[in-house]
Amino acid sequence: MWSILRYAAHRRFLTRLTRTLLVKNIHTLVTMDEQRREIRNASILAEGPAITQVGPTALLPDHADEVLDLKGRYIVLPGLVNTHHHFYQTLTRAVPGAQSCELFDWLRKLYPIWSHLEASGVYVSAQMAAAELMLSGCTTSSDHLYLFPNDCTLDDEIRALADIGMRFHASRGSMSVGESQGGLPPDALVEAESKILKDSQRLIERYHDESRYAMTRMTLAPCSPFSVSPDLMRESALLARCHPGVRLHTHLAESATDLAYSRERFRMTPGEYAESLGWVGHDVWHAHCVHLDDVAMRRFAETGTGVAHCPTSNMRLGSGIAPIKRMLLKGVRVGLGVDGAASNDGTNMLHEARLACLLARAGDCDPTAMDPRTALELATRGGAAVLGRDDIGRLAPGTCADFVALDIDQPQFAGAGWDLVAALVLAQPDEVSYSFINGRRVVDRGRLVTADLALLVERTQEAAAAMAAKV
Ligand SMILES: [Zn+2]
C-alpha cells in the first residue's frame, strides 16, 4: 500500500515538473538574450521550470496544459534580479531620528531597535519584502541578514521565501567586532566567530542547491569592514570556496566614513583591503562601491568581481554617486539592489532601474551616461551575472521560466507607444500584472497569489509595533 501511495505521489511530482505553460500574443517580448531581441507579437512556451521556446506567436505551438492569452496588450520581460537587500529592515522604515543621517549615524540610531528583532519578525518582514519585490517585477532576490538577536536564525527567512515562492539567494551575514573592539555595532549584537562559521557550515549543508533552476542558494556575508575582523573575512572565504556555487558578499566603500575607517584601521583603501583578504573573484560581489577607485575597478574587472549598485540607498544616506558608467566601461559586472528598506523605504525594482539610469546622468552631467535599456539590462542580465547564474535574467530555451508582464494600457504607458521598452524604465510603472517563477504563476492580474497581502501588511505592522514598544 505504501509503495502505491509513494508511486502516486511520484507521478504527481513528475506531472507537475513536466506541465507545459504557454503565454501567447505578447505585444512586445524583451528577451535580453544574446542578441537582445525584442519580438513583437510573441509567445513563450515552458515545460516545468524551464523555457523551451521563445519567438513569434505564429511559430510556436498553440496549446499547452496552461495557456495565458495576453491579447496583444502586455509587454513581457525577464524577471528582475535584486542583488542587495536586508529584508528585516522592512520593520524599520522612515524611523524618526534616522531619516537624515549618514551611514554610521544611521546605523547607531537603528542598532538598538534592531536588537529587538525576533524570529517571527524575520519571517514576516521577509515575506513582506518579497511580496513588494514580486509585485514590482522581481523574481529572484538575494538578502543579507547579518544580525541574529533573540531567537532569530536564517532558517526563518529561507522558510518565508520558500513559502511565498520566490527564487532566493540567502546570505548568512555576520557581525563579530563590537564597539569595545573598535567596531561600530553594540557588543550585544555581535556573535563569536566560531559560532558564525559553524552556523554557516550548517546552513550550506542544509539549504544550498547548486543545480540549474535552483530556488535556494547560499552566500556567506560578513557585514562590513567596520563590523567583522579580517580573520572572519578570510575564514568565510575559505569555507565558501569548499562548496561549489556558494558565494561571498559584503558591503564595501559605501560612504566617506566607511572609506575613512578603512584608511585609519587597515591603512588600505577598501579595494586594497578586499584584495588582501582574497575577496575578489567570480564568486564575490560587493554592495555599493560608491567610493571605489580606478585601481580597484580594474581589479574587479580582471577578476570577475561583481558590484550591487543601490542608487536609492546611496541618495537616501547622502553616500554619493557610484561611478557605474566607469565600472561598465572597464568591464565590471554590475547588478542592481534596492538595499534594505530602512535606507530606501521602498522595495521596488522597477523604480531602482529608473533611478540607476537617472543618477548616472546626474552624476556625470551627461544625459547619455546611461540609456534605459542599459538600466534594464543591469536589473536582469547584470544581476544574474553578479549572482553567478546563466539560467535567469534572460528569456531563451533552457533558462528558468521567470518572467513578468505589464499591461500597456495602464496610465504610465499612455503616450509611450513610441518606445515601450524605454518607458519601462523612464515612465515609472509601479507594478506588474503577471509574474511567473519557475513556471508557476505567482502574480495573477496584479494580485499576489502565494500570500494574503492584506494579512501580511497587518502582521508587518504588528511586528514593527512590537519592536517600537520595546525601545
Ligand atoms: Zn546593505
pLDDT exceeding 70 applies to what percent of the chain? 96
Q: How do 284-288 and 306-309 pair as beta strands?
A: parallel
Query: 125 C-alpha to center of ligand 1: Å?
Result: 16
pLDDT category of residue 275 using cuts at 50, 70 and 90: very high
Query: 294 C-alpha to center of ligand 1: Å?
Result: 22
pLDDT score of 251 more than 70:
yes
CA distance 228 to 308: 20
Query: 8 C-alpha to center of ligand 1: Å?
Result: 46
Query: 262 C-alpha to center of ligand 1: Å?
Result: 17
Q: Which uninterrupted H or E stretch holds 414?
A: none
Query: 133 C-alpha to center of ligand 1: Å?
Result: 16
CA distance 91 to 445: 28
Query: 143 C-alpha to center of ligand 1: Å?
Result: 9
From the centroid of its chain, how far is CA 338? 7
Task: Give the three cell numbers for residue 235.
Answer: 575564514
Q: What is the pLDDT of residues 10-48, one digit of tens each?
A: 555 555 558 999 999 999 999 999 999 999 999 999 999
pLDDT score of 5 more than 60:
no
Non-local (6+) Cβ contacts of 109 within 8 A are: 95, 97, 98, 101
Angle between helices 193-207 and 154-164 (to 10 degrees): 30
| CB-facing half-sphere around the CA of 234: CA atoms within 13 A | 6
Non-local (6+) Cβ contacts of 352 within 8 A are: 310, 311, 312, 336, 337, 338, 379
Query: 85 C-alpha to center of ligand 1: Å?
Result: 6
pLDDT score of 399 more than 90:
yes
Across the chain, what does the average pLDDT equal? Answer: 96
Q: How many residues does the chain have?
A: 471
The model's pTM is 0.96
The secondary structure of 180-215 as a DSSP string is GGT-SS-GGG---HHHHHHHHHHHHHHH---STT-S
Query: 356 C-alpha to center of ligand 1: Å?
Result: 16
Query: 426 C-alpha to center of ligand 1: Å?
Result: 25
CA distance 404 to 211: 23
Q: Which residue has the higher pLDDT, 341 or 294?
A: 294
Query: 250 C-alpha to center of ligand 1: Å?
Result: 8
Residues 83 and 381: beta-carbon distance below 8 Å = no
